Structure 1
Amino acid sequence: MPKITYIEHSGKEHVVEVASGLTVMEGARDNGVPGIDADCGGACACSTCHAYIPAEWSERLPAVEAMEEDMLDFAYETKPGLSRLTCQIKVTDDMDGLVVQLPEKQI
């Protein structure tokens, strides 16, 4: 299983194993990582699973689709090229080592 590092805004790290096929949001939720609220349960309808993904991972992740891009307009302090909704990123075996940085808060 790939290991993903979730970094809270405070700097506290959570390294968890997430099964391939789940989303990065589900990995956080299922492992009690604070900072990803996921109010809509992963339906890409709320933006409360917003996180920053380092640029070096952008080519290894699925592209941002129109619905995700629209929902990012509602997220707190988005950063061009880094902001993603974690409910839209399905975990694959080649994501071992992924780093997910969490914003100060979710809206």
Structure 2
Amino acid sequence: MSVDDGPARLLIVDWLSVQGIPYVDCGMGLDRSVGGLSGFVRITGTDRKAFDDNVGTARLPTENAKQNEYRKQAQITELNALNAVMAVIRFKQHFKLLDRLDEATCYILDTATLDIE
């Protein structure tokens, strides 16, 4: 499913987490800088703890994003692909198909530094 509306995201992810249905919410925020586009790619999920820890923040936004470069640029195909790959990896970790060494409920990749927090 794809949701690009903050209030709808809140309803859907809240319901999924209450029902115990795993989810991974993906998103990005980009802005134009002197050196090009910069920003972040993020994944958040998969359970009620992830919801409670992140709801209403940039890690799980419940309001619609202000206009930014995401809505204006065609050069973000690779960031959308990266976002999808990160989500699949996290989902596989949830089902113990891939190892997981921490308890983070959100991962954010900085597109300028490639640092992940």
**Fold shared by both chains (TM-score > 0.5):** no
Higher strand share: 2
TM-score (norm 2): 0.25
Larger proportion of helix: 2
Query: Bigger relative contact order, structure 1 or 2, given CA contacts below 8 A and separation 6+?
Result: 1
